[in-house]
């Protein structure tokens, strides 16, 4: 039996088209770890918003808190508190410099809609990452 020179597309490793390693630091983060980091950030945002709205529940104010936390932390240090806790960081086209604020704002806005994060490509990147040319990778 003769094998094809190229493996079928189903066997292509995640991150190959981005030039990322197969495993270890710098490789694409698993979906479950990304979701957990998102949940940590959402909880933190609700707590922060709750500090300003107490004794009432924060309601939609937690969305504003989420947006501010995400944008500020992504531009300042390249990772949100949830990402840092779980050993993730945001990779972008200019690794020697900070993430451009427009990328952080657009990415956060799309992420807040949730659906774009669930529309993934073959590498596992969500629509919010593809639009802003970013990827969540393992930091450690």
Phi, psi (degrees; rounded to nearest 5) at 55:
-85, 0
3-class secondary-structure state, position 62 = helix
Bridge partners (DSSP) of residue 88 are: 138
C-alpha separations of 62 from 45, 58, 65, 71 in Å: 6, 6, 5, 14
Closest CA to 132 of 109, 98, 104, 96: 104
41-73: pLDDT as tens digits: 999 999 999 999 999 989 899 999 999 999 999
Enter the pTM of the model.
Answer: 0.85
76-135: pLDDT as tens digits: 999 999 999 999 999 988 888 899 999 999 999 999 998 888 888 888 889 999 999 999
Residue 1, pLDDT above cutoff 50: no
Residue 2, pLDDT above cutoff 50: no
What is the token pair recorded at 17? 């088209």
């Amino acid at each position: 039996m003769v094998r094809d020179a190229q493996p079928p597309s189903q066997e292509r490793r995640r991150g190959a088209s981005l030039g990322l390693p197969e495993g270890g630091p710098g490789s694409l983060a698993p979906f479950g770890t990304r979701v957990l980091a998102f949940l940590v950030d959402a909880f933190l945002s609700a707590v922060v918003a709750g500090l300003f709205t107490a004794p009432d529940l924060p309601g939609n104010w937690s969305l504003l808190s989420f947006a501010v936390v995400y944008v500020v932390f992504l531009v300042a240090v390249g990772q949100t508190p949830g990402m840092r806790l779980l050993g993730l960081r945001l990779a972008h086209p200019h690794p020697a410099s900070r993430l451009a604020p427009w990328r952080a704002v657009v990415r956060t806005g799309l992420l807040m809609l949730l659906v774009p994060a669930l529309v993934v490509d073959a590498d596992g990147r969500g629509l919010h990452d593809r639009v802003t040319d970013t990827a969540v990778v393992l930091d450690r």
